[in-house]
Amino acid sequence: MISEEEARARILDTIKPLPERAVPLAQALGWFAAQGYFARLPLPVFDNSAMDGYAVVASACKKGGRLRVTGEQPAGRDRQLRVSPGEAVRIFTGAPMPAGADAIVMQEDVTRDGDEIVINADVEPGEFIRRRGCDLAEGQRILAKGERIRATTLGLLASQGIADVTVGGEVKAAILSTGDELVKPGGKLDPGQIYESNSPLLNALLQRCGAIVNSVEHCRDESESLSKAIKRAAKSDILIISGGVSVGEHDLVKDALREERAEIDIWRVAIKPGKPFLFGQLPTKSFYPAGETPAGPTGSPQDESVRPADKMPVLRNCFVFGLPGNPVSGFVTFLQFVRPAILKMMGAANLDLPQVPAKSAVDLTNDGDRAHYIRGQVEDGKFTPVGRQESHALFGLSQANALLRLAVGQSVRAGEIVDVQIWDA
Ligand code: AMP
Ligand code: MG
């Protein structure tokens, strides 16, 4: 059994980011920038009006005074107008400032009288002008490498005239649940059977991380069918196997993986819940090196029977995560080991779950020999454990929104501030 820290470090040392790819802005949401982006243009791009109104020379305006309207500048092409003292140009929001003008009087503050306006307010220089570069300077960084692309990032990139973004790879995932006792939801339960609930949970967690789930299979605890299912699933970048990784006679996943020439790098980690966690690599063949494939950016491996004559297979690995079948164990090990691995493959800079400080509602002690993740609820800055703290307790987990990690030997007193992990699933 290795420590949780060592397991995480080994996984993250093994896993490398997938090749980057260019995607149109409309498809870039949620991916991670594969390079830094810098402003090509200042924002605003030019001095412009913040209001519908009149462009004026402030020093030539006084309350009750009259100005002659000499032209009109809508948003759009710059008409190269000029404003002199005693004059005004009709202007609209976003329109470029005419030369000579140093203020906008909003239309609510004037009375129009034919070719003239009467000003009903005091006018200060600079009023209602949006200055070039006041929001964003040219050359300023707008997106860091490894940062997640959000809706607002897309708006900002578009404002720079950028139509395509280079983002990290797309992780294709396969899910394989195992267990003779499991029945697909919708089916009929016989005595001794339970519904299969891990794959919907894992599927959702994978999607939340940004992975593409391209297969979900269930397999009985039977060596041959397991080997076949593993072979099929190995076409993905990662394979998540649920159950069958413990020490019982019906836990056949390890042997089936070895049968498929997998290297098992980690089995059993000092984490509670989740001790039987497994991590390994399955060699798989791909005819196209990643990034070169006609099928997709990450190079989906292909069937030997359709190999083009000029293409030699290259070996690439499918990373295998064997999660314990108990739902809470699967959940916790997914968040601690699988999530950071996926994010690293996708090119994310930050692999950690968000943490928030919270006051523990109760005394807690970890006198075991494994790091213990307590499921709880964070509300109004207070962390309260919820439900049974046992690895099968799915209802308790469903009521939780935070995990408190207690290191071996760690005690927390009621009222103490602790950092807890939260998730968005
Ligand atoms: P295992 O890791 O296969 O020994 O399973 C541990 C426990 O988790 C057993 O009580 C299983 O019935 C349960 N379990 C395993 N896989 C699933 C699943 N996909 N859905 C719900 N429960 C499961
Ligand atoms: Mg089982």
pLDDT tens digit sequence for 119-171: 999 999 999 999 999 999 999 999 999 999 999 999 999 999 999 999 999 99
Condensed to tens digits (0 to 9), the pLDDT of residues 283-304 reads: 886 666 655 555 444 444 455 6
- Residue 246, ligand 1, Cβ within 6 A: yes
Q: CA-to-CA distance for 347 and 368, rounded, in angstroms?
A: 36
Q: What is the pLDDT of residue 316?
A: 73
**Sequence-distant contacts of 147-152: CB under 8 A, at least 24 apart:** 147/32, 147/33, 147/349, 148/30, 148/31, 148/32, 148/348, 149/28, 149/29, 149/30, 149/31, 149/32, 149/33, 150/29, 151/29
Which residue out of 178, 182, 193, 397 has the highest number of ligand 1 atoms within 8 Å of its CB and is therefore the one to mutate? 182
Q: Which ligand lies nearest to the CA atom of residue 329 in the structure?
A: 1
- Tell me the pLDDT tens digit for each residue of 171-222: 999 999 999 999 999 999 999 999 999 999 999 999 999 999 999 999 999 9
- Is residue 422 over pLDDT 80? yes
Tell me: pLDDT of 309 over 80: no
Contact 144, 34 (CB under 8 A): no
Kindly give the distance from the C-alpha atom of residue 353 to the centroid of ligand 2, in angstroms, as a whole number: 29
- Over the stretch 67-92, which tens digit does the pLDDT of each residue have? 999 999 999 999 999 999 999 999 99
Contact (Cβ atoms closer than 8 angstroms) between residue 343 and residue 423: no
Q: Quick one: pLDDT at residue 297?
A: 40
What does DSSP assign to residue 96? B
Cβ 197 under 6 angstroms from ligand 1: yes
| Ligand 1 neighbourhood includes 196 CB (under 6 angstroms) | yes
Q: What radius of gyration do the chain's Cα atoms show?
A: 31
Average pLDDT over residues 92-114: 98
Tokens of 313: 């297979």
- What residues sit around ligand 2, an ion, with C-beta below 5 angstroms? 179, 243-244, 325
**Binding site membership of 43 for ligand 1 (Cβ less than 6 Å):** no
Q: Cβ neighbours of residue 183 under 8 Å, at least 6 residues apart?
A: 189, 190, 193, 194, 195, 196
Q: Which two tokens stand for residue 21?
A: 């790819």
**Which of 326, 329, 398 to probe ligand 1 with, by most ligand atoms within 8 A of CB?**
326
- The pLDDT of 224-237, averaged and rounded, is 95
Name 248's Cβ contacts closer than 8 Å, sequence gap at least 6.
Answer: none
